[in-house]
Amino acid sequence: MTGWMDGQRALVVGGGSGIGRAVVAAFLSEGAQVAVLERDNAKADLLAAELPGVPVVVGDATIPADNRAAVRGAVRHFGGLDVLVSCVGIFDFYRGLADLDDDEIDDAFDEIFAVNVKSNLHAVKAALPELRKTRGSVILTESTSAYYPGRGGVLYVSSKHAVRGLVTALAHELAPDIRVNAVAPGGTMNTDLRGPTALGLRDKRLNDTPGREAELAGRVPLGIAMSGMDHAWSYVYLASRRVRGVTGDVAHSDGGIRVR
């Protein structure tokens, strides 16, 4: 790929680590200008040091005003916005309904659905006026958990199914002005994916699971443990104006798990 995003201006929500950070790198290498909204101060500082040309707004994607500030920042720097990507998310570490105490469910549900689902509504809403002007596109992040059980607990799997619904509903609502698609990554190496504070899992990292690389490679037909960069080219493909006829669609970057 070269020049697949020449002249495009993108905002990556959750671009400070993992898949979002790889999307930032891939978009830049394909000719885009990129801005980031990221909640973690340390990741924002690191990004600003590594990529001085990338404006970073520190904020929470579940808060409308923070999304609006990030969109304003991108437009101030680049003069407009063509692409919105969201890569925010938290994981529930396979907690089943029977593992959740009655008094944990409300807070865990609210936190996981706020980050994994509601943040997408606020990010898209904030970007809408700019994306309509440019007939731009949106790419949300699903998961294999948007299609199958077993790779997350009940709240993660149901929240990712909801993201799948957002893609369909928004692609329908926003046509013909804005394309809306998703990438559904499989299990991924070298990310910082963490759990909800409500379950005491904010400091637990999925990537620290012992034997994760071999386990990831062993679970998919292609026998590979994928990294953020392996998924990032799917975001490039969907964001490119070369694929102007694709909306409401999903790139399954999952090592072929569906054909097993």
Ligand X SMILES: NC(=O)c1ccc[n+]([C@@H]2O[C@H](COP(=O)([O-])OP(=O)(O)OC[C@H]3O[C@@H](n4cnc5c(N)ncnc54)[C@H](O)[C@@H]3O)[C@@H](O)[C@H]2O)c1
Residues designated catalytic:
156
Q: List, edge to edge, every strand of the sheet that includes 250-253.
A: 56-58, 33-38, 9-13, 83-86, 137-141, 179-185, 250-253
Regarding 40 and contact with ligand X (CB under 6 A), the answer is yes
Regarding 220 and contact with ligand X (CB under 6 A), the answer is no
Nearer to ligand X, 70 or 174 (CB): 70
How many CA atoms within 13 Å lie on the side-chain side of 60?
Answer: 6
Regarding 38 and contact with ligand X (CB under 6 A), the answer is yes
Regarding 55 and contact with ligand X (CB under 6 A), the answer is no
Nearer to ligand X, 176 or 210 (CB): 210
Closest CB 257 distance from ligand X, rounded Å: 11
Report CA torsion sign: 32, 64, 175, 85.
positive
Regarding 8 and contact with ligand X (CB under 6 A), the answer is no
* DSSP character string of 65-126: HHHHHHHHHHHHHHSS--EEEE------TT--GGGS-HHHHHHHHHHHHIIIIIHHHHHHHH
Nearer to ligand X, 14 or 136 (CB): 14
The type of residue at 241 is R
Only segment of 47-55, 174-182, 184-192, 243-251 that touches ligand X (CB under 6 A): 184-192
Regarding 137 and contact with ligand X (CB under 6 A), the answer is no
Token digits of residue 18: 């993992």
241 closest CA partner among 185, 188, 178: 178
Cα 194 from Cα 91, distance rounded (Å): 6
Closest CB 125 distance from ligand X, rounded Å: 15
186 neighbors 258 (Cβ within 8 angstroms): no
Regarding 39 and contact with ligand X (CB under 6 A), the answer is yes
Nearer to ligand X, 148 or 243 (CB): 148
The type of residue at 183 is V
Cα 164 from Cα 116, distance rounded (Å): 11
Closest CB 152 distance from ligand X, rounded Å: 8
Regarding 54 and contact with ligand X (CB under 6 A), the answer is no
The footprint of ligand X on residues 149-178 (CB under 6 A) is none
Regarding 122 and contact with ligand X (CB under 6 A), the answer is no
Cα 214 from Cα 212, distance rounded (Å): 6
Only segment of 31-39, 97-105, 121-129, 166-174 that touches ligand X (CB under 6 A): 31-39
The footprint of ligand X on residues 87-116 (CB under 6 A) is 87-89, 115
In the list 8, 14, 128, 137, the residue contacting ligand X (rule: CB under 6 A) is 14
User: 86 has which bridge partners?
Assistant: 13
Interacting residue ranges for ligand X, rule: CB under 6 A? 14, 16-20, 37-40, 43, 60-62, 87-89, 115, 119, 141, 143, 185, 187-188, 191-194, 206, 228
